[in-house]
Amino acid sequence: MTKYYLLEQLSMKQEELTLAKYNQSTYLKAIETSIIALVVLVPLVFYPRCITLFVPPKEAMMQILLLLALMFWGLEMINKEKFKFTSTPLNFPIVSFMAICVLSLIWSNNFFISLKELPLFLAGPLLYFIVVNNLNREEQVNRILAITLIIGGLFGIYGLLQYRGIDFSFWIRNIGRQQVFGLFGNVNFFAEYLIVPLPIAVSLFFACRNKFKKTLLFLAILVMGTTLVVTFTRSAYLGCGISLVFMIILFITLQGKSFIAENKKLFIIILVAIIIITLLFVIPTPLNKSGTIISTIKSRISLSQMSESFSISSRISNWKFTALMIKDHPLIGSGIGTYKYNSLRYQARFLEQGQNRSIYPYVFADKTHNEYLQLWAEVGIVGLGIFIWLIISYFNYGLRFIKRVKNRYKQGMIIGLMGAVTAVLIDSIFGFPLHLSATIILFWLAIALTIVMVKSETDREEIPTSKKDLNQISRFQPLLFIIIIFLTTFLCLTVSRPFIARTYWYYGNKEMEENKDLNQAIKMYNQALKWDPYLGEIHYQMGKILQSKGINTLALEYFEKAERYVDHPDLPKDLASLYLKQELLDKAAIKYKQAISYQKNEKSMLPLYSQLGSIYFHQKKYQQAEAVFRNALEIDNNFVNFHYGLASVYLQQNSLEEALRELQKVIELAPDSQMAKNAQEMIQKIAQEKLKAPATETVSPPSN
């Protein structure tokens, strides 16, 4: 009797300890809720009265929810009077990555742009530390993954509806593959979101034994996979494909022949499907005629089509001029987030080399479509090396310890999470998923949950942590609570400012385009600048309005401010025009040279060459003027103004034979023009003097 009584008491004590261990405080529950909110709200949120309506709201939502999660973590530590920091193999690489991003502000070639971009790069690492330090139970991971798959499945359904033309009436209709954009505004962004939940669903499908759950997972895979197909996004195809191969290899390695035996029927069905699909691609049938899904996919993945594709050639161009950035700042880069500020200048340099302008298209790229090259350009080989170290550490840890996980379903969870990370890393070779808020959240969440799952299985005792008692500050607890809440409120307002500014930008555009009220538009733009003084596009827009109203001095001030924060393709031309009006010829010449290099094609350079040549002529910089006119004539040898300008330069240099040749060309090309009459008079005057003395009369080249 005593024996049974003792056993019962021991069981009750054990149950109490277990309950105590897993009894979550309000703050821990709030942290988990914040993480779930990130998974749900970031991909869903948009705001139609914002420029643009998808990206800024998602970034603001991500940053606010992360700050709230950090606040609850801080309150939890103060409440328990213990500082707890879980030791993981990724701590040092991630802290190092965060450090290089912050330190790059010091050497950034545009501090304010780097400062604005910094939260986007810190969001993922901060989420990692929030998760690994506050989630440690399997049911928490299951809950988050279930919600992730539900949201992914709903997006899959919505994508299919969009493909069929069924959508909300307030969307501006897109055409072709762009109509399948989910709530991301771009088909590629949508695809780069789907490649995260899809591998997780596939892995759980193989691992799950419950038929009902298996059916739900199959339906999720079906809708997400079909939607991914109709996005026709090649990099997402590649990332998802390699991820699936990686996961299958892991399953076979861990479970051996039993995995193949258990899924034998499924593999046969997949093999038959692959054969049928291959035949549909190869053999002409009504199912693959022009305009069908199969025909579109075939054209998207065809090597001949890709070699002629604008997107491929533009990305190759991006990569090549990014290499010029890297060459200039190989070790520590030009500063986090500065790629978009530098891209036009480096593209101009690249297009001026050899025949590049005729080979590669002109693009206005704010991303390089390769995360690794862009990271190298912005934080150097040091930053890229730290990121690669982080990824290697992640896979090394996961692959080494997954063998110790005995539960097959948990193995499937870990394999799916690693597969999702793999898909994003492969897609990053051709896209920029790590610059998209929804994908950032899922990518870093997958990394963090992998570590949580492996540690919960391999470290059955207590997870190693760094703890420090904070008993000495218990009397300051209320004050610390107030400080943390106040600081969080301040930071939430700070990270919201760019989003609020963009809503005023929207209303300013509306006043200008719909109501034609420039004065009201200016008021809206000024409000935008109060919220975000570093929004270069608004400074530029203000400059354009003031320039149109003839308020040139103030317009110039706004253009010069815009130049500090944005590099717009038309900004050098606008600056040059105003400098010329104010007779600031040196500054005008510099900007005209820059404007020429920014032009999309050579034909659009000609008016700018004309202005630049005239400036050099009036500054008596005749050799430079000659070079400008000659460059212009290489583009269009029949442009009369440049022959006339070149003749003027030759007369000033006493090169009479060359001047006569150019004057004759003017008469030949435009015999009835005023320039031809002037040229005829000059020829007669030169003949009368018998070429014995330098011309005493000068002719100024015309300017546009």
Mean pLDDT of 312-323: 89
Q: Of 23-32, 538-547, 565-574, give the lowest mean pLDDT range.
A: 23-32
Q: Examine the pLDDT at 13 and tell me if it is beyond 60.
A: no
CA angle 294, 298, 304 (to 5 degrees): 165
**Amino acid identity at 89:** P
Residue of higher predicted confidence among 304 and 62: 62
Alpha carbons 307 and 271: distance in angstroms, whole number? 30
Distances (CA, A) of 645 to 496, 616, 619: 54, 11, 14
Q: What digits encode the pLDDT tens for the residues 551-609?
A: 999 999 999 999 999 999 999 999 999 999 999 999 999 999 999 999 988 889 999 99
Q: Are 330 and 283 within 8 A, CB to CB?
A: no
- pLDDT exceeds cutoff 60 at 325: yes
The answer to whether residue 1 scores a pLDDT higher than 90 is no
Query: What is the pLDDT confidence band of residue 304, given thresholds at 50, 70 and 90?
Result: very low
- What is the per-residue pLDDT for 572? 95
User: Quick check: 624 and 590 in contact, CB under 8 A?
Assistant: no
Query: Distance between CA atoms of 571 and 611, rounded to whole angstroms?
Result: 16
Q: Is 461 helix (H, G, I), strand (E, B) or coil?
A: coil
Q: How far apart are CA 448 and CA 394, in angstroms?
A: 10
Is 488's pLDDT higher than 70? yes
Checking if the pLDDT of 193 tops 90, the result is: yes
Q: Is the pLDDT of residue 547 over 70?
A: yes
Phi-psi region of 566 (alpha: psi -120 to 50; beta: other; left: phi over 0): beta
Tell me which of 46-50, 73-77, 362-366 is least confident: 362-366
Percent of the chain scoring above 70 in pLDDT: 85
Dump the DSSP string for 600-644: SSSGGGHHHHHHHHHHHHHTT-HHHHHHHHHHHHHH-TT-HHHHH
| Residue 178 DSSP symbol | G
Q: What is the CA radius of gyration of the chain?
A: 32
Buried b (16+ CB within 10 A) or exposed e, 354-373: eeebeebebbebeebbbbeb
| Lowest-confidence segment of 10-14, 175-179, 273-277, 309-313 by average pLDDT | 10-14
Q: Give the pLDDT band (50/70/90) at residue 147.
A: very high
Assign 232 a pLDDT band (cuts: 50, 70, 90). Answer: confident
Neighbours of 397 (CB within 10 A): 18
- What letter would DSSP give residue 435? G
Torsion of CA 424, 425, 427, 429, to 10 degrees: 160
Residue 319: half-sphere exposure toward Cβ, Cα within 13 Å:
15
Produce one character per residue of 278-305: b if its CB has 16 or more CB atoms within 10 Å, e if not. eebeeeeeeebeeeeeeebbeebeeeee
Q: Tell me: the pLDDT tens digits for 623-645?
A: 999 999 999 999 888 888 888 88
Q: Give CB contacts under 8 A, 24+ apart, made by 114-118.
A: 114/335, 114/336, 114/337, 114/338, 116/337, 116/498, 116/534, 117/336, 117/337, 118/336, 118/337
Is residue 287 over pLDDT 80? no
Q: Mean per-residue pLDDT for 223-241?
A: 90
pLDDT exceeding 90 applies to what percent of the chain? 56
* Cα–Cα distance, 563 to 345 (Å, whole number): 13
For 497-519, how does the pLDDT look when each residue is reduced to its tens digit (9 = 90+)? Answer: 999 999 999 999 999 888 888 88
Q: How many helices (H) and strands (E) does the chain have?
A: 31, 2
> Nearest to residue 266, comparing CAs of 228, 229, 217?
217
Q: Which two tokens stand for residue 187?
A: 């088909």
Mean pLDDT of 650-669: 85
- H helix intervals, 23-163: 26-44, 55-80, 91-107, 111-134, 138-163
pLDDT in tens, 336-354: 999 999 999 999 999 888 8
Domain 619-704 listed as CATH 3.40.50.300: no
Residue 690 pLDDT: 52
Is the pLDDT confidence value at 5 over 50? no
Q: Does the structure show a pLDDT above 50 at 303?
A: no
* Joined tokens for residue 610: 């004309």
Domain boundary assignment for the chain: 619-704
Q: Give the residue among 258, 260, 228 at the shortest CA–CA distance from 243.
A: 228
Place of tokens 């003792």: 6
Express each pLDDT in 685-703 by its tens digit: 877 765 455 544 455 565 5
Average pLDDT score over residue span 72-92:
87
- Between these two residues, 386 and 310, which has the higher pLDDT value? 386
Distance CA 507, CA 674 (A): 49
Are 433 and 443 spatial neighbours (Cβ–Cβ below 8 Å)? yes
Torsion on CA atoms 14, 19, 21, 23, rounded to nearest 10: -170
Higher pLDDT, 660 or 529: 529
What pTM was estimated for this model as a whole?
0.87
Q: Is the peptide bond before 88 cis (omega within 30 degrees of 0)?
A: no
State mean pLDDT over 279-287: 58
Confidence of residue 476 (pLDDT cuts 50, 70, 90): confident
- Residue 187 contacts residue 436 (beta carbons within 8 Å): no
Angle between helices 571-581 and 552-565 (to 10 degrees): 150
The top-scoring range by mean pLDDT among 117-131, 254-268, 591-605, 632-646 is: 117-131
Average pLDDT score over the chain: 86
Q: Which amino acid is at 54?
A: F
> In the structure encoding, which two tokens stand for residue 291, read together?
């305009």
Q: How confident is the model over 392-434, as pLDDT tens digits?
A: 999 999 999 888 888 888 999 999 999 999 999 999 999 999 9
pLDDT at 230 over 50: yes
Q: What's the confidence (pLDDT) of residue 24? A: 67
In this structure, the strands spanning 465-469 and 82-86 are antiparallel
In this prediction, residue 666 carries a pLDDT of 85
Q: Which of 85-89, 191-195, 492-496 has the lowest mean pLDDT?
A: 85-89
Buried b (16+ CB within 10 A) or exposed e, 108-130: bebbbbbebbbbbbbbbbbbbbb
Kindly report the length of the chain.
Answer: 704
Q: What is the pLDDT of residue 701?
A: 60
Split at pLDDT 50, 70, 90, the class of 189 is very high
Torsion (CA) 483, 485, 488, 490 in degrees, nearest 10: -70
What local confidence, expressed as pLDDT, does residue 662 receive? 86
Q: Name which of 657, 658, 662, 661 is nearest 645 in CA terms.
A: 662
Partners of residue 467 on adjacent β-strands: 84
Separation between Cα atoms, residue 275 and residue 568, nearest integer Å: 50
| Per-residue pLDDT tens digits for 198-218 | 999 999 999 888 889 999 999
Q: What is the arithmetic mean of pLDDT over 136-163?
A: 92
User: What pLDDT, on a 0 to 100 scale, did the predictor assign at position 531?
Assistant: 96
